[in-house]
A = this chain, B = another copy of it.
Amino acid sequence: MSEIRFIEGLLTELTPYVRERYAARKTLSVATKSNPTDLLTEVDVEVQQRAQRRLQSAYPDDLFIAEEEGLGLLPDDPDRRCWIMDPIDGTQNFVRGLFPAFGISLAFVRGGVVRAAGVMLPITGDLFLAERGQGAFRNGARLHVSDVDRLGHAWIEVDYGTQTKREETLRLSANIVVQAGAIRCVCAAVVGMCSIAAGDLDGYVHVGLNPWDYAAALLIVEESGGVATCADGSPLRVFGPQNGVIVSNGRFHEELLAALGRE
């Protein structure tokens, strides 16, 4: 089985469990991590463990990198085959919120490059899939970024993230907040980036993410015609140094980069 079919199967298999726990979310046990709003639920842990078991069985020699439970390690050998997962990206939105803006994210990486990727939004049932060089799809329909070509008309998500990054995000995004056509903040990287791939959003700004937050969505955006860089304009990579995650449909990326504040 190809990696993309494995991703499709696994994300589809995990979805009913997540939907069921979301429906009963008032009864969830919720723990906090680095601060009072950095949340971890039993669902994050269970999804990750189920995925890990399936991956160990299907690909016993591959490395598994994931957000929870000490699996947030980068490979010693950059050429190694590895899988990068965020079991629930947008855990806060899972726990609270009228709109279910969270997703399961899984990417297959070889040689430091994402080769196949999937993001499932369990409540809407939207499954985004991409293979390098083969395009990106939502529920089988080919995706294309929007044709918005200037910041003043663009919908931009400024992802304010957790409290520890808020001052820096304010500085980075102040000009963009003033100049953009519309500002949104949903705070789930996979949702923001897949929205760009689908043409529903034009740009996304974050001061810095972990590989599991964006690895899968990065390929989905690129295969839809979008662009992702660091704040200095260098290409966004899965491993290695990173200062900021700046994503757009590629039609006003230079203008977006130029508007980033650096007080």
Contact = CB atoms under 8 A, between A and B. Distances in A.
Interface of A: 36-37, 92, 96-101, 121, 124, 126, 152-153, 155, 158, 160, 163, 166-167, 169-170, 174, 177-187, 191, 194-195, 198, 200-201
Contact of A198 (B98, B160, B169, B185): B98
Given A99-B99, A191-B98, A170 B181 contact: no
Contacts of A166: 177-179, 183
A126 B150 CA distance: 36
Given A96-B200, A183-B187, 15 more contacts: A36-B152, A92-B182, A96-B155, A97-B195, A97-B200, A98-B121, A163-B179, A163-B180, A166-B179, A166-B183, A170-B177, A182-B187, A184-B185, A184-B186, A184-B187
Contact of A37 (B121, B181, B195): B181
A167 B163 contact: no
Nearest to A26: B199
A187 B160 CA distance: 15
Given A36-B181, A96-B155, A98-B200, A170 B174 contact: yes
Nearest to A121: B98
A214 B181 CA distance: 23
